[in-house]
Structures are given as C-alpha cells and as structure tokens.
Structure 1
Amino acid sequence: MRQANRREWMRGAATVAMVGAVPVRAMAAGTILPDKAEPLPLAAVRLRPSIYATAVETNRGYLYRLNPDRLLHNFRLYAGLKPKAAIYGGWESDTIAGHTLGHYMSALVLTWQQTGDTEMRRRADYIVTELAEAQAKRGTGYVGALGRKRPDGTIVDGEEIFPEIMAGKIKSGGFDLNGSWSPLYTVHKLFAGLLDIHGGWGNPQALDVAVKLGGYFARVFAALDDARLQEVLGCEYGGLNDSFAELYQRTGDRQWLALAERIYDNKVLDPLVAGKDQLANLHANTQVPKLIGLARIHEITAKPAPAAGAGFFWETVTGHHSYVIGGNADREYFSAPDTIARHITEQTCEHCNTYNMLKLTRHLYGWRPDGALFDYYERAHLNHVMAAQHPAHGGFTYMTPLMTGMARDFSTVKDDAFWCCVGSGMESHAKHGESIFWQGGETLLVNLYIPAEARWEKRGATLTLDTAYPMEGAAKLAFTRLDRAGRFPVALRVPGWAHGQAAVEVNGKPVTPVFERGYAVIDRRWKAGDTVAIRLPLDLRVEPTPGDDSVVAVVRGAMVMAADLGPREKDWDSPDPAMVGANPLTAFRPTDPATARYVASGVFRPADLTFVPFFSQYDRRSAVYFKRFTESGWKAEETAFLAQQAHARDIAARSVDVMHLGEMQPERDHKLTSDISYPVSYRGRQGRDARSGGYFEFTMAVKPGPLVLQAIYWGDERKRDFDILVDNVKIATQRLDSDKPGQFFDVEYPLPEALTRGKQNVRIRVVPHDRSSAGPIFGMRLFTAKKGVTA
C-alpha cells in the first residue's frame, strides 16, 4: 500500500495522510480511536427541533405530494399494462424516465427509517408489487420506464436498444446510448431503490425483482467483448458497479461480483487508481458514482486498487476541485485543478455531485475514522445540501450558483421538472440523522453537531445531543440511559478550522481530553446521567480560493457567509463588491449573534455589506467570493475598469445592430431559425449553441460602409470548431480551445463591403463542424469600422 502526499483541504482542514488512499495517522502507542467505524442505524436516530428536522418534515410532505402511479406510468405502459395515472412532465416525459422512481423508492425507505412513518413503507411495498407485475408481463427479466427516441422523433420503449447493443450496434456518447438518455444511469437508480427496500425491512419481492433485472443485464454484458463494453461505458452509467456488488452481498452469487468488477471505465478510472488527476473537462457526476462502486468493491474484496482510486479521487476533488461550500463543477464539468477562482458562475455546484461525494466520504471514513473526512462532510452538508432545498415548498435546486448577484432556481410545486437533482434532493433531505453518531469497537464517535436522540444498542444507551450549532459553538451529549455502564471512549470531532481550540467538560467540570486524528477523546467510566460538552470557537476568517489567494470567501466555523444583496425579485446590476484593505475582519460587527448576522463597514467597495449564512439565502441574492485588493491595487483596478467602460461606450456608439442570443424576444425580432441548437445561460449572460448536425441563423441590419461583426465567447470552452457565414458566404472558421481562461472575450470579423453593399440586412449563420459544436455565442454585434480600417 502506497503513501501519498499530505495536503490541506480548503486551507483550513486538518491534514490527512493516505495509506492505500485511506485517511489515517501513524498509530502511536496507546492510540484510542478504532481502526474502523460504522454509523448508528438511521432508524435508531430521531432528530430534535432544528433546521435539519424541518428539512426532513418538508421533504416528507414532498414525498406525500408525489403520486407513485404517475411515476409508474411508463413501467406499466411499456410492459403492455394500462397505466393507472398520467405521466409526470419534465425529465419524466423524456427518454430518461424512470430515474425519479428509483430515487423516490430510496427516499421512502430513508424517511421511514428517519421518522417511523408507516405510509412511507406502504408506498414502497406497493411500488415493488407494481414493478413485479410489469416484469412478469414482459417475461424477460427486464423492467423499466426509460424511452428511446427514434430518428423520426417518436419516443418508444427503451428496451429495444439492448438487443441492438448485444448485436454490436452501439452508438454511445456522453449521455446518449442508441437514442436513450443515460439508460444505464436510470437502471442503476432502479436497482438502488429495490436494494434499499430489501435492506430496509427485508422485502423479499424487491430482491427477486432485482435479481431478475440483474439476470437480464448479465446477458446484455455477456454479449459484449471488452472493447465493445468500453464503448457502452462511454455513456453515463451511474453506480451500476455498486449495485451489482451489493447484489452479490445480498445473494452470495459470485456472478454479480464479477459483473461489478467488469463494469469499469478504463479511460476514467485507470488514471485515478494510478494517482493521476485527469479530471479536467470530465462530467463530474458521471464519475463520482463509479468511485462509490469501487469503494464498495474494495469493502467486499479487500483489493487495494479500488481503494486507491476512491481515496485519490476524494482527496483530489475536495482539495483541488471544490468550492467553498463543498460542491464542485461548473456547468456540470470539472475544470483544471486549482482553478476555482475562474469558475465562479451561476452554473456551479450541481447538487447530485455533493450527494454522491458525501456517500463516498462515508465509505472512506468507515475504513479508517479521521475527523478531516468529516470536516469536508460537514462543510458540504451544511452549506450546499441545506441550500439546495426550499424550506417552505420543498423544491430543489439543480445548481447552487456562487456568482455574485445570482438567485437560486428551485423546482416548483407544479412538479414539472424531475431533474436528477430532484431525485438526489428527496434522498438527501430524508436522512439528516444518518452521520451524526458512529461506533467502532468500544468507541462512540460524534461527527456532526445536530440536535438528536439516538439508541446505542451496544451499550443499551439512549443518547441526547443538544446544540444550537452552527449558530453557537456549544454542544452537549447526555447519556439519558445506559444499561451497560462502564469504561469506554467518547470521541467528539474537533474541526480542523478550530486548530485544537476546543474546551471540553464532563458533568459540568473542565477536563483535558486526548486529541487524536481530529477528535477530543474522553476515555473514562460512564454511567446514566453523565454529560460531556464541547465548545468550539466560531471566529470569522477569510479563506483563500485554491490556486488564487486574491479571491476569498468569509467563513464562520463550518458556515460559509454571504453578503445579502437583496430579494430575488430585484435584479442585481451593480458592480461586484470587492474587499479592500489589509485587515478586513476588523470591520465586521455582529448585529444578531443568534442568526450569525454581521455588518461590514468600510472594507468593501463600493458600499458596506450585511453578511448572513449562505445556506439561508433561499429567496435572496448573494455574494460569496470577493476579489481582494490592497488600497493601491484597488486604485489601479478602478482605472482599468473605467478604460473598459470607455471602450464599451465607443463600440455602442458605432453599433448598427445587436443580437442578444438566447433571449426570446430578440431572437424573434431577428427571425432566428435553428436545428439542434439551444439557448444557454452562463455567468449572467444569455447565449446560444448548436450541436453537431445543427445550426442557428438570424437576420441583422446593415448600413453602407465597412462593417465589423463581433461575437462574444467564454474563454474556457473545451475544443470545438465552427463556421460563421454571412448570406451563405463563409467569413470565418472559429476554434475555441481555452483561448482566454477565466474571462469572456470578443472576436471581431471584418466584413467585405461586397457582402453588404446595397442591402438593408443580412443573414448570419453559425454551423458546427462534424462531431463538434458551435459556441456558445453570448451575443453578436454589427458596428461600423473605424476610419482607415477595411476588410
């Protein structure tokens, strides 16, 4: 087993050493913490009043609102049975239909475990019965709702793609497989739901359906040689390897383990196992479940390579590809390591990524408990997961935008979205009690300070954890019952950002704990009625962004703070606030400590700001990241800004026509036509792209004399080539390939006067090259050339 380099997470976490890519520390004589750990069962934990308990109840209301028969519509229809209710809209009416039902099944189990609500169990059992009927009607072992879009645009039963694949007719892209949208991803969600229901209360029919479904796909994969299998795995397949590994655990049938190990994407996973970060430009959430599968395979087989890949991936993503709130990815994709400062946009932090990263964290922690793992877990759980559910109507975000002035978009009570993040959201908010308490050997570990009660069967104990954290830094654990009193260690996590500044009391009296691997450990004889309390400092700090110390965020304990920029209904059109000065934290004054509210005076330009917890900005606009300047640096920045504004005014004065791509009315006004082309929104700008085989075209006004066509691009696009034509005459071939990292940039195309002479308007056409895409283009403008400038 190899040892990798140590590094800090987000410059504030405790250091982590990696042995076989599993976080550990050197085992000193007399070490107390266990070698392995497992969480107390979710069913043994009940949340006390807090934002987390509210989230569970809001989510439970959402699960009640959903109609299982509507989610089962395609399962019955494609099996030749009459649906019992109309299908839902959004993604459930597309070829990815069925993924939501899998998440819903898992969320029902988790909510039953977290709350004891028997209706959740009844619904889950009903769904299994319905799936079994549909599976029996088909008679092949297959059951599913996914669709397949044929060339004529009609959507049919997606099962028809699998015989084609078995025959070697494979057309696989990142998200399309023979005309179906990520079909194996959808299959994985169904497997996961079935296995969760079986594991939740031993429903034998759920396992039977899963085994028959597994048999169907075992035949599909058996028909593929290794090269063709890799073609198939080029399309997102979720954590299908995890499902087959778990199926082996439930049945003991080794064919499932062999299949789990064969479902291995060589291109992505080989570098990670070898300790190489090649994540840039990979779709983030496509990858995370693969590593969860590797983690599960390691737990079953004890093979070191899967553990090395899973551990290296976790270390790399959390240390070099994560935002301050713990989420990752911009426009769903990883960027180059340590380039977060160049990717602070409205398309940051897809929720599914964090949902899966927290799952992976739990696996790694179970192998070797280390508080640094839960420093990340807590950061992402508090600041991202809790930001992604609206506490009033229960809607979920897809992205959690970190760009200044952007508001969050939530799925609505119309239930017409059913994004992937709606599915992962309904699971995330069903299980806030799952990682508070852990046990290993004789040790009880407290990892999250969330008000809760729990049963610890090993000691016949009832535990009560009282706290107002994260608003306050104190938490108290009480043994309200302890049938098997005696000596054992209690380990309270001390986050890395606390730098060991933790005060601990037992029964109200100060004690000196042993500090080990991110924990304050008290090893003593415990009896019923005993309490142990911890107090952590919640000082504000400025946290630099990995790779760019000039871009910073403000953090209080584990809680990311945000400048409150006003209600979402009011557009943000002011300059981004900047932090100026050598000691900015001296300007912060608490105005309401109970809600962690501060006013910062004299340190931000152009105006003072009020700071609040970021997660709580559900219907407000925020600023999280700030460019930091010295006083002299800020004066230079102002000068550059004024020069940029003068140039923009000059171009505006010479403009003949402006096309705001991606906006409905301007596109209508300019008579836009298109095919395989889509509007996009990025960094507060609207735009449009076109995919291979498509185009977009529109009319622009012209005037006599030399003209220039200007297009606006984002400088960090992945490689692509496309042509720009004016009245069917090609004027340029544009290549985008990370031309101007971290910024928008303009390209000017002088037009030959012959193209516009005698005309009042022209048609601009944008066409991607084969197997490429065009744009996105974030606006086009025609303006007169300066005197003396000709085409």
Structure 2
Amino acid sequence: MKASRRQWMVGVAAVALCGVAPRGFAAVVKPVMPLRATPLPLNDVRLEASDWATAVEVNEGYLLSLSPDRFLHNFRKYAGLEPKAEIYGGWESDTIAGHTLGHYMTALVLTWQQRGTQACRQRADYIVDELADCQVARGNGYIGALGRKTKDGDIVDGITVFDEVKQGIIKSGGFDLNGSWSPLYTVHKMFAGLLDIHAAWGNDKALEVLIGLAGYFADMFDALDHKQMQDLLGCEYGGLNESYAELYARTGNARWMQIAKRIYDDRVLDPLKAQEDKLSNFHANTQVPKLIGLARIHELTGEQPPATAARFFWDTVTQHHSYVIGGNADREYFSDPDTIAQHLTESTCEHCNTYNMLKLTRQLYSWQPEAALFDYYERAHLNHVLSAQNPHNAGFTYMTPMMSGAERGYSQPGEEGFWCCVGSGMESHAKHGDSIYWQGEDTLFVNLFIPSRATWKDKGVALSMATDYPFEGDVRLTLDAVKSSRFALALRIPGWSKGAVALRINGEVATVTPVNGYVRIDRRWKAGDVVDYSLPLDLRLESAPGAPDVVSVLRGPMVMAADLGPVEMEWKDVEPAMVGEDLLAAFHPIVSDRPRYVTRGIVRPGDRNFVPFYSQYERRSAVYFKRFSEAQWKQEEAAFLAEQARQKDIAARSIDIMHLGEMQPERDHNLVSDVSYPVAYRGRNGRDARSGGYFEFSMKVVPGPLLLQASYWGSERGRKFDILVDDVKIATQELGEDRPGKFFDVEYPLPEALTKGKNSVRVRFLPHDRSSAGPVFGVRVFTAKK
C-alpha cells in the first residue's frame, strides 16, 4: 500500500490522508490523479440486466412486501399511542426491536435512488411522520421500540435503561445493557435511517426528529464521567459516533461533534491508533462501525489519529483476518492474525461485517483513490455480498460458511427472523450501482465492471457499460453524450491481472500506462466514442493467510467452488483435498453459459465440478482445500485410518453416548439446565453454560473401571469449569487458545466408588464465576482398557 501511495504523485511529497494539499502545492505541480473522489450519485446510475440488477429488483419486491406499521408497533405502543398493526416476530419481538426499521428506512432511500421507485420514498416519508407523532407523544425527544426484559421475563419499554444510565447505573456486557440487547446499536440504526431520509430529498422533519433524539442521548452522555462512559461503551453501540459526527456536518452544532468524540471505546480504538493488531477475540462487527465513525470525524476535523486508526484497521482486517470471499470472523469474532485456515467453519463471514467493511473501504477511497482498495471491494462485493441474498426467494444469510459441505441457511421472507444481517441485507442489495463510477476533478474512475448507464452531470457526460464480466473479460464503454469534451477516464487494473490488460479506443489499439493501478485516458471525447477494455480471467490458486498449503481457486475476481450437491442431501463425505504438483493443469473447462470446470485426478476422494461460489444459493460447496504431494497424502490417509481405528475401539467399549445440543438425546438423558444454550460449530452440535448456570444429565454406567470422555473445540477463548458426577467434582477443565485448532477429546477416570452399585450417574458441567462451561460437543462413558 505504501509503495502505491508513493507512486501516486510525480515528484511530490506525500500529502495527508485527508487529501488537503500543503500550502502552495498547486503552484508546484499538479498530481497525476485527483487526491480525492466521490461516487457518482446513485440517482445517476442505472443497472442493466445482470445478477446485480436482479438482486436489486428482488430486494425491492421484498421491501414492498413488508409493513411499516408492523415495524412501528412498539414505537407507538411505548409512546402511549395505539399500534396500527401487530408486531413482527423474531428479533423484532425481542428487546432489540426497532433495529430493523432503521435498516428499512435506509433501504427504502437507496431503492428510490437506485430505481426511482416512488412507493419507497412515500413509505419513508410516512415512517418519519409516524415517528414524529411518537416523539410528540413522549415529549422528551426520545423515540424507540427497544425493550427491556424484567425478572419475570416480560419485555417493557426500554427507556428505563437510559434513565438508569443517567443515574450512573450501568450493567454492561458485550451485548447486554441493563437487561436490553445492544440498545445503543438499535439507536444508531434509527439515527442512520433518519439521516439518510433527510439527505436523499431534503425531508426536514426527519432532521427535526433526529435532533430531538440526539439531544435526549446527548443529555445522557453529558451525565457520565469518563469511566462511566467506558463502562457504557462496553456494550455494542454500532456507529453512533459516525451519526453524531454527521449530524454536526448537517447542522454545524459543535455539541454533536463533542459527543461523537466521546463515543470512543478506549480498549479497542487506542491500540488501532497506535497501529497495533489486538483484534483477536473481539466481536468483529461491533468494531467496524467504530472505525467508520472515526473516519468521518477525521473528514470533518482533519485530525490525523482517527484516520490512522481507520486505515490500519482496514489494512489489518483485509490482509490478515479475511477469508478468500472477503468476509471475516468465525462465530462473529476475530481470531489471531493469519489463522483463518484454522477457522473454516459453518459460522464464518457474518454479512454485516462485510457490509460495514465496504462502507469503510469507500471512505478510505474517497480520501485518496487507490485501485487496491477496490480490489478488495470487488472481491467482497461479488463473492460475499452477492452470495448473501437468495434471488429465488429474497432471503438473506447471517453467516456464509467456509466449511466444506455446510449449508448457507437463508432467512425465509414469509417468516419473521429479522436478524441483523436481514437489515444490512436490505441495504446491500438496494445499492449495487453506488460504487461503479467515481468522480474526481476532471477524472471519471471506473472501479467496478457491472452493466450500467451513468450520467456525470458535472461534465455533461452520459455513458454506458456493456459487459458479461466476470464471466467474460471484455468491457465496452460507450460515450452516449458529451458536453465537456476534455476529461480523463481511469479504468481500474485489478491487482490479480498482473497488468495484462488490453485497451482499444474506437477500434485502435492504445498503449496501457498504469498510474497507481489505473489505465488513465486523457483526451478530447465526443459522443459515440467507444473504449474496449479486456481483462484476463485465468484460473489461479490463492493460499489462505499464514497457511500456504490451504488453497482456494479463483478466476479473475471470482471465487470458484467445488459443487458438493443440493442442500436437501446431507453432506457426510470426507472433506475434499487436492493432491499433486501442477493442480491447475487438471482443471478442464465445461461448455456452459457461466464458467464451469471439471477436475481430473487431483481432488480426493473424487473429482468435482467447480462453479462460481456466489451462485451456490441452494447447493453445498467446498472453497478451501488442503494441498498435498502424493507422499504427504499417503501419510494423511494413514493418520485418518488410525483415527478411525481409535474411534472404532472406543465405540466398541462405549456404555452410553450423549449428543449434546440435540433435542431427543437431551430428553432421553433427562437434561436439566440454567443459563445454558445449544450451539452448533463445524458440523457438530453441543451445549454450553454461562456464568451462574449449569447443565446436567444422566449417563449409564456398569461395574468396573470406567472413563468419562468429553469433546471440545481447540482455540476457544478462555473457559474454566468443573465436571461433577453425582455432585462430586472429578475434574476442573480449562479451555484456551493454546489448544489445537481442531476437536479433541479429554478422558476423565471415573472413581469406582462413584459408580459402584449404580446403573446411572448424573454428570454436571458447572462454569466458574465469570466464565463458561464448554461448549461440550458430546460426552460418552466407556470401559477402561484392561
């Protein structure tokens, strides 16, 4: 990254990230490329037929199928007004109610901008009117649907959470604040939705409602000292700092910027300002919006440390914590850098994370256009975001699994999950045209190759892009109308292309001279001019960060996946691996309207067809493959057979097996629990218990020496718990990151005095204070070897 930034200017020292030139800069020499850029307004970009356009159309239908009044139920109820429709279920019936409405408002705005759908604008204005009525009824500036759970399990108006916070009563965990699920995260979604409606068409009432809401929370923040503020920010708060900074930009009221700067989590953000990667074990999506907020503060104040933190975070996440599809995190948490090969599970790549990473990418690009930023954007946009919507039913994923054979699991629009990634999904698939074209001074950047039409109003230019990319490598740009005849067209040269691109202007071969990752064409243009741009789409292998022998297959920007069959068929086969020296030579194209290949002789246990990963909506896939030489594969087979023999021996000696996290086995073993939850991880079900809880169940025993075996996953965050048999502690177990990144078994001898004369015993897992027990992925009792 640093090298490319140095190449950006000719004979000029680097400028600040904010893009503000040193005094007298323009008089010395003008940069080859603009120092800042902005995307063409979404209103001025229209998508042509493609999977992107289909996604927007399908999403629009979904948005219009939803009821604003159902989302508004709690807002009206808690304001003392009669609801107009029943509340939605799922998360909207939990204490996090209201977060979806914020996403929905933004998605309506984006759809109106992308497609001109008046019904979306009308709905957004209606929602603002309803919220204004609720605000008047409350009389204190507050509006909200979020709830708070009482000791009896009832959910009541969550405003009491903030009343307590003002008094310094702050019981804050990662996702719980005084009995409410991430309430400030939910508040941020409302801020964002209102800001977007105000910006889109000047709805002044949206800004008035937001100012009242912002004032209510500003009073709460003003009542807290620094320590109390840090305690409060220990609970997820979304990008509330960004919203206050943006409110400052809209109003000029310095109070809002003061609040924005106070919404600063020392524990997470101080190391990033110091350019230290301490992200391991932090919840990923909780952090990304904080950096988007810092980036906005930098843009408005010119302060450098927030920019340093934002850029370092982006570099760190994209280079050391991201999967090949551009997503990040396992079970929603960052792991150690360069360890994702140890975290190929069914719980990877939460969509919200990538949604926010793309927002951060756009911000960084606006400060200083770099093609490398859009190399990441394109990868995540194509392979993760496009895969996160099922175009057949408008469902959204929460996670996009990197574990071979795992099902994606889409929401069902006829049902009412409304988890966070449904909300960010509504937004992502409303705006696929928003980053194709960027403008900077006299330069029009083309960063994404998506069939579209665009108008560059500043220059009176209309153009269209025709392409079947990423299936084919040819892109044609046609100047449909030109007013200002001289300007520069900058076409991104993807990093994976190694510069092997070709260019023709009006049929004539043109020289490609890269400038910081772009082909820059500066000339006088006229209507009817045509630019043909060709990109190579060769297959290549890419290793996982930190694991050179774990590879994925890509074709241009597109991740290719081994097709493992329909989701209706349970996956029970061995995880595919690749064996051989020249792997790519064994890929043979299949005649198809989309890229498809079949392997011959390299995939174990058998050859597979490879297809675009994103399109595997209702099929199972393999994306990552362990790579072996023939000699290594023989050793792997031997180890596999030895493990099978061990499991067979234990099975022969087994007295009882408990499959935790599964309804019928838990019922058969009379499981009882408190503050305990079933989990699923890497294809195995299990159960854990949180601090203050436990789980307990019966296991059969026989006379003689016995062993109790429990299965765990290595590399857990620190856990410590006791194991008791008939109320007698037989072991204390600790789990931590020093364990191997795989499932492992621990055997505990059962004292014969505890089992003598019994047919069964009660086994209890009891967490230590402020710790968790497990997860435990199965328990069995078997006889000791004689």
Normalised by the shorter chain, which TM-score bucket?
over 0.9
CA contact (8 A) 2:564 2:621 kept: yes
CA contact (8 A) 1:22 1:364 kept: no
Aligned mates of 2:151, 2:718 — CA distance in 1: 27
Match of 2:628 in 1: 629
Aligned mates of 2:35, 2:413 — CA distance in 1: 46
Match of 2:35 in 1: 35
Which residue identity is paired with 1:687?
G
Find the residue that maps to 1:384 and give its secondary structure.
helix
Match of 2:711 in 1: 712
* Superimposed CA distance per residue, residues 484-536 of structure 1 (whole angstroms, 9 cap, x where no aligned partner): 22x21100001000000000111121101321111111111111111112100
Aligned mates of 1:146, 1:463 — CA distance in 2: 46
Match of 2:534 in 1: 535
* Superimposed CA distance per residue, residues 573-600 of structure 1 (whole angstroms, 9 cap, x where no aligned partner): 1111111111000000110353111001
Offset at 1:5?
A: 8.7
Superposed, 1:688-767 pairs within 5 Å as 688-767=687-766
The Cα RMSD (Å) is 1.6
CA contact (8 A) 1:472 1:594 kept: no
CA contact (8 A) 1:147 1:180 kept: yes
Match of 1:437 in 2: 437
Offset at 1:6?
A: 8.7
Does 2:120 correspond to 1:120? yes
Offset at 1:56?
A: 0.2
Match of 1:87 in 2: 87
Offset at 1:362?
A: 0.2
Relative to 1, partners in 2 of residues 1:497 and 1:18: Cα closer, same or farther, differing over 3 Å? farther
Offset at 1:741?
A: 2.9
Match of 2:579 in 1: 580
- The percent of aligned pairs where both chains have the same amino acid is 66
Superposed, 1:518-557 pairs within 5 Å as 518-557=517-556
CA contact (8 A) 1:388 1:400 kept: yes
CA contact (8 A) 1:23 1:369 kept: no
Match of 1:111 in 2: 111
* Superimposed CA distance per residue, residues 543-587 of structure 1 (whole angstroms, 9 cap, x where no aligned partner): 011101010000000000000000000011111111111100000
Aligned mates of 1:514, 1:150 — CA distance in 2: 66
Scaled by the length of structure 1, what TM-score is found? 0.96
CA contact (8 A) 2:17 2:367 kept: no
Aligned mates of 2:591, 2:368 — CA distance in 1: 40
Superposed, 1:669-688 pairs within 5 Å as 669-688=668-687
* Superimposed CA distance per residue, residues 225-244 of structure 1 (whole angstroms, 9 cap, x where no aligned partner): 01100000000000000000
Offset at 1:483?
A: 2.1
Relative to 1, partners in 2 of residues 1:224 and 1:636: Cα closer, same or farther, differing over 3 Å? same
Offset at 1:152?
A: 2.2
Aligned mates of 1:189, 1:573 — CA distance in 2: 41
Which residue identity is paired with 1:445?
F
Offset at 1:32?
A: 2.6
Match of 2:495 in 1: 496
Find the residue that maps to 1:60 and give its secondary structure.
helix
Does 2:596 correspond to 1:597? yes
CA contact (8 A) 1:22 1:311 kept: no
Match of 1:463 in 2: 463
Aligned mates of 2:695, 2:289 — CA distance in 1: 36
CA contact (8 A) 1:21 1:311 kept: no
Offset at 1:151?
A: 2.0
* Superimposed CA distance per residue, residues 372-427 of structure 1 (whole angstroms, 9 cap, x where no aligned partner): 00000000000000000000110100000010011110110223101000000000
* Number of matched pairs: 773
Which residue identity is paired with 1:634?
W
Relative to 1, partners in 2 of residues 1:547 and 1:354: Cα closer, same or farther, differing over 3 Å? same
Aligned mates of 2:187, 2:679 — CA distance in 1: 29
Which residue identity is paired with 1:626?
F
Range with greater deviation from structure 2 (204-213 or 724-733): 724-733
Match of 1:398 in 2: 398
Match of 2:287 in 1: 287
Aligned mates of 1:475, 1:97 — CA distance in 2: 45
Range with greater deviation from structure 2 (761-770 or 92-101): 761-770
Superposed, 1:81-480 pairs within 5 Å as 81-480=81-480
Match of 1:609 in 2: 608
Find the residue that maps to 2:373 and give its secondary structure.
helix
Range with greater deviation from structure 2 (410-419 or 274-283): 410-419
Aligned mates of 2:438, 2:351 — CA distance in 1: 25
Offset at 1:462?
A: 1.1
Find the residue that maps to 1:432 and give its secondary structure.
coil
Aligned mates of 2:151, 2:168 — CA distance in 1: 19
CA contact (8 A) 1:328 1:349 kept: yes
Which residue identity is paired with 1:140?
N
Offset at 1:51?
A: 0.1
Which residue identity is paired with 2:292?
I
Residue segments in structure 1 that go unaligned for 5+ positions in a row: 8-16
Relative to 1, partners in 2 of residues 1:492 and 1:593: Cα closer, same or farther, differing over 3 Å? farther
- Give the 4+ runs in structure 1 shifted more than 3 A: 3-7, 17-24, 27-31
Match of 1:11 in 2: none
Offset at 1:84?
A: 0.6
Aligned mates of 1:21, 1:204 — CA distance in 2: 33
Range with greater deviation from structure 2 (48-57 or 524-533): 524-533
CA contact (8 A) 1:660 1:666 kept: yes
* Superimposed CA distance per residue, residues 155-199 of structure 1 (whole angstroms, 9 cap, x where no aligned partner): 110000111111111100000000000000000000000000000
* Superimposed CA distance per residue, residues 711-770 of structure 1 (whole angstroms, 9 cap, x where no aligned partner): 000001001111111111111111111242311111111000011111111111111111
Offset at 1:22?
A: 8.0
Match of 1:10 in 2: none
Find the residue that maps to 1:160 and give its secondary structure.
helix
Offset at 1:675?
A: 1.1
Which residue identity is paired with 1:521?
R
Find the residue that maps to 2:401 and give its secondary structure.
coil
Aligned mates of 1:29, 1:534 — CA distance in 2: 30
Find the residue that maps to 1:538 and give its secondary structure.
coil
Offset at 1:21?
A: 6.6
Scaled by the length of structure 2, what TM-score is found? 0.97
Superposed, 1:498-513 pairs within 5 Å as 498-513=497-512
Match of 2:8 in 1: none
Aligned mates of 2:155, 2:608 — CA distance in 1: 52
Residue segments in structure 2 that go unaligned for 5+ positions in a row: 6-12
Aligned mates of 1:576, 1:715 — CA distance in 2: 19
Match of 1:772 in 2: 771
Aligned mates of 2:728, 2:153 — CA distance in 1: 31
Find the residue that maps to 2:617 and give its secondary structure.
coil
